[in-house]
Amino acid sequence: MISIITGTTTNVTMSQIMDYSIVAVLFLLLFLSLRNIIRGEISNRRKVGILMRNLNIVSIPLLIMFITIIIYRIYSSSPLFSSF
């Protein structure tokens, strides 16, 4: 059972990770723009406040993913780190 799980998880390549990172960045842009639009139209309604908190919960992990992607891109394209 463990060998099946290990075999499945090790077949993920860096190109697949980069493909999924593009989707994560698009969702980040969508959630940040949606949050700003809702913040501009905010009222004292309770449902809008709940939606704003949920958008904050979603955007924080996507922001961490975006920073990780930027660091990886800098690391992989920099000639300084290519010798390691």
Domain with 58, as residue range(s), is 13-77
Spatial distance between the Cα atoms of 36 and 63, rounded to a whole number of angstroms: 15
Residue 14, pLDDT > 60, answer yes
Spatial distance between the Cα atoms of 43 and 52, rounded to a whole number of angstroms: 11
Within a domain: residue 69? yes
Q: Which residue has the tokens 């949050």?
A: 35
Within a domain: residue 2? no
Within a domain: residue 5? no
Within a domain: residue 37? yes
Residue 83, pLDDT score: 56
Within a domain: residue 83? no
Work out how many domains the chain is built from and give that number: 1
| pLDDT confidence tier of residue 84, bands split at 50, 70 and 90 | low
Within a domain: residue 73? yes
Residue 5, pLDDT > 80, answer no
Residue 55, pLDDT score: 73
Residues 30-74: pLDDT tens digits? 878 887 777 766 666 667 777 777 777 777 887 888 888 888 878
* CA–CA–CA angle 16, 21, 24 (5° rounding): 135
Reading the block at residue 50, the tokens are 């709940």
Reading the block at residue 61, the tokens are 């992990």
